[in-house]
Amino acid sequence: MSSGLHAPEVLLVTHSGDFYNVDRVAEELARRGAKARRLNSDLFPTETRLGIQLDQKGARPFLILPDGTSCDPERVVGVWMRKIFPARLPADVDPRLAPGCQAQSRSTLSGFWDALSHARFIDPPAAVSEAEEKIRQMRLAAACGLTIPRTVVTNDPEAVRRLHEECGGRIVTKLLNPLSYSMGKAPLFVHTSAVTDEDLEDLGGLSLSPMIFQERIDKELELRVAYVGGRCFAGGIDAQESATGQVDWRLAGVNECPWQPAQLPESVRQQLSRLMDALGLCFGAVDFIRTPAGEHVFLEVNPAGEWGMLEMFLGLPISAAIAEELLRP
């Protein structure tokens, strides 16, 4: 692959507080003779300048980064849509104007991605947006042969109580979407939680916010799988001895539940590949439960999910796989 002034360029779209994953992919791109360009989405429009020139010859995007360097979009061969954050506006912006500024920025970015349609996206924004719909994910997962938990998404308390009875009193609940977005710990984040008998007596909040309710699956291991272009890089975590992480491993202590190597059975990998094809995704961070009987139960796929812990603690070459996919013709 060429290098120097004529090296192919890859745009890494993230935010200014994101480092490990982005740095690892940038290093792998450099090893392959490509130049990584970082676009921190939260710094547009305040510090990053970009746009699209349009005429009868077509659309030509341009990009000037906060350090004053320019990116030549004609040499951009790949775009990694790692994280897209809302514009970070100055604190003194008139609150009446802020939503409009955000909307104009979103529309400009959408046009910028469209003008880069010659490049390979991981993944196309439209595909990511559709794939984030949890109900669609689960419907397609079941159609592709993956096992899913019995699930109800509803604002109807009686439907929740019926599921609770059908599942022998063992169900959990979670949100369809995050309540907030943050570069660090989100100020509003609701973990997967067990539903108690007391909870069933007070489901009035559903009238304001429908939620996901699922049967609680017995766990031998919880798997995070980084899916990259048909390849699966899996790690497992056992939080069943944790006082706080039995329902959601993310609540366990940092050193309480170490990551361990894991594998997906080939039949499950093929089913997952069919799902990812149906969703139009090259990449996804996928969650499974492996039951004591050895069954793999699909929970969800996050098109921009985390995988750095799998590379950091297990040495899985996920960043190399992403770099290879970004440079693939």
User: Which tens digits make up the pLDDT trace of 157-194?
Assistant: 999 999 999 999 999 999 887 644 454 554 444 678 88
Whether 151 and 213 have beta carbons less than 8 Å apart is answered as yes
Residue 165: CB atoms within 10 A of its CB come to 11
**Alpha-carbon distances of 25 from 168, 180, 284, rounded to whole Å:** 46, 26, 15
89-129: pLDDT as tens digits? 999 999 999 999 999 999 999 999 999 999 999 999 999 99
Q: What is the pLDDT of residue 35?
A: 95
Sign (positive or negative) of CA dihedral 105, 109, 110, 112: positive
**Alpha-carbon distances of 110 from 21, 104, 122, 294, rounded to whole Å:** 24, 10, 15, 43
Q: What is the pLDDT of residue 181?
A: 47
Amino acid in position 81: M
Structure tokens at 237: 């975590």
Whether 33 and 26 have beta carbons less than 8 Å apart is answered as no
Sign (positive or negative) of CA dihedral 131, 135, 140, 145: positive
Q: What is the pLDDT of residue 31?
A: 97
Judged by DSSP in three states, 101 sits in helix
Q: What is the pLDDT of residue 42?
A: 93
Residue 260: CB atoms within 10 A of its CB come to 12
Whether 172 and 247 have beta carbons less than 8 Å apart is answered as yes
Cross-strand bridge partners of residue 173:
193, 213
Backbone dihedral angles phi then psi of residue 56, each to the nearest 5 degrees? -65, -20
For the chain, 329 residues long, give each residue's pLDDT as a single digit of tens: 444 567 899 999 999 999 999 999 999 999 999 999 999 999 999 999 999 999 999 999 999 999 999 988 889 999 999 999 888 899 999 999 999 999 999 999 999 999 999 999 999 999 999 999 999 999 999 999 999 999 999 999 999 999 999 999 999 999 887 644 454 554 444 678 888 888 888 888 888 889 999 999 999 999 999 999 999 999 999 876 654 455 665 555 566 688 999 999 999 999 999 999 999 999 999 999 999 999 999 999 999 999 999 999 999 999 999 999 999 98
Q: Which domains does the chain have, with CATH numbers?
A: 4-122 (3.40.50), 126-147+218-329 (3.30.470.20), 150-216 (3.30.1490)
CA 265 to CA 246: how far, in whole Å? Answer: 24
- Strand intervals (E) in the chain: 9-14, 35-40, 49-55, 58-64, 70-71, 76-81, 120-122, 151-154, 171-174, 193-194, 211-215, 221-228, 231-237, 260-261, 283-290, 296-302
